[in-house]
Amino acid sequence: METIKEILMQAENAAILGHIRPDGDCVGSCLGLKNYLAATAPQLKVQVYLEEFPEAFRFLKGADEVSHEPEDGNVYDLCIVLDASDRERLGAFDGYFAHAGRTVCIDHHITNTGFAQTTHVCPERSATSEVLFTLMEEDAIDEAAAECLYMGIVHDTGVFKHSNTSGETMRIAGRLMEKGIPFSRIIDSTFYEKTYRQNQLLGRALMESVLFMNGFCIFSAFRQKTMEFYQADPKDFDGIIDQLRVTKGVECAIFLYETASSEYKVSMRSNKIVDVSKIAAYFGGGGHVRAAGCTMAGSVYDVLNNLSRHIEAQLLEAGVL
Ligand code: 5GP
Ligand code: MN
């Protein structure tokens, strides 16, 4: 198989795509690769396409040149997809993938479907940004690229605390720090800082959360009416699921928000036992063992009933229920 480097050498222009509702790792890996290529393959014309992403990520170099609209009709020699585990996750940018001469996907999701011509998936890596680091020549990573990759790792590890954080993750983060990046500021301004609206939504989600299955599970849900009241955007929900997960005694946390009438976006997290990637994949989504998501139809109670059956089966099998 050709190496990624060999594939890059053959292209004159490339599109970089992430996934819908881009998160920190998605934006960090896309811009990290763009900055790296600007330094190492200056002959290659690169355009990043991503849906609108949180304002807090705008400080990254190249963020202002990202195209948020899929309508330019450009066709690329090469399409590089980062952090997206299946083709549906490309959303409105799928056309660039469909028409590209060559497609490559670099990812860390165990549920990656292998939809690109060349797929490089490392499920043991915390973030796509971490996978990219292992494919790059370290000396050619400049400060701008390092900021992007570091931010990606920070977000997917929940600031180096989720179970996906390995010794290697820490060593790579350390090497990125040595590029001179403002690591404290990146963590504070992109991860911990919340807008007033985000804090209000977090408060409301926690206040209305419900424990079930003997306290092993917790859920909270936003219906469209509530989202309209707060003028909330899904980007405002970052962090809610993680706060639910750390409720004492909880093994599995579920957060839902209504995306259309009787359609819910589901986020799931587990602490030690439940494999939520299996459950998400069963319902057409995907993710990781301890963090996964999908979209489901029905009322909040339909969705919870359907998910509960799978969670309960896993807890019974593990002998904890
Ligand atoms: P989150 O709950 O933060 O949205 O997502 C957790 C993890 O599950 C992420 O790695 C994300 O990529 C994955 N994920 C969330 N929703 C979906 C989905 O609808 N489809 C797939 N394939 N993965 C998802
Ligand atoms: Mn990721």
Instruction: Give the model's pLDDT for residue 42.
Output: 93
Query: If you write DSSP's letter for every residue of 66-115 in order, what string do you get?
Result: -B--STT----SEEEEES--SGGGGGGGHHHHHH-SEEEEEE--TT----
Instruction: Give the model's pLDDT for residue 317.
Output: 98
d(CA 269, CA 285): 14
**Beta pairing partners, 252:** 217, 270
Centre of ligand 2 from the C-alpha of residue 164, in Å:
11
Task: Name which residue sits closest to atom 13 of ligand 1, judged by CA.
Answer: 287
Centre of ligand 1 from the C-alpha of residue 69, in Å:
22
Q: What is the number of the ligand closest to the CA of 110? A: 1
Instruction: Give the model's pLDDT for residue 3.
Output: 77
Instruction: Evaluate: CB of 285 within 6 angstroms of ligand 1.
Output: yes
Q: pLDDT band for position 2 (50/70/90)?
A: confident
pLDDT at 4 exceeding the cut of 80: no
Supply 269's token pair: 């997290």
Instruction: Evaluate: CB of 287 within 6 angstroms of ligand 1.
Output: yes
d(CA 278, CA 269): 12
Beta carbons of 197 and 228 less than 8 angstroms apart: no
Centre of ligand 2 from the C-alpha of residue 109, in Å:
7
Supply 34's token pair: 């763009």
Please choose from 82, 267, 268 the residue to mutate so as to test ligand 1's pocket, defined by most ligand atoms within 8 A of CB.
267
Which H or E run contains 287?
strand 286-287
Residue range 156-175, pLDDT digits in tens: 999 999 999 999 999 999 99
Q: Residue count of the chain, please give it.
A: 321
The average pLDDT across 19-45 equals: 97
Residue range 54-99, pLDDT digits in tens: 999 999 999 999 999 998 989 999 999 999 999 999 999 999 999 9
Q: pLDDT band for position 8 (50/70/90)?
A: confident
Instruction: Give the model's pLDDT for residue 50.
Output: 98
Task: Name which residue sits closest to atom 1 of ligand 1, judged by CA.
Answer: 267
pLDDT at 1 exceeding the cut of 70: no
Task: Name which residue sits closest to atom 3 of ligand 1, judged by CA.
Answer: 267
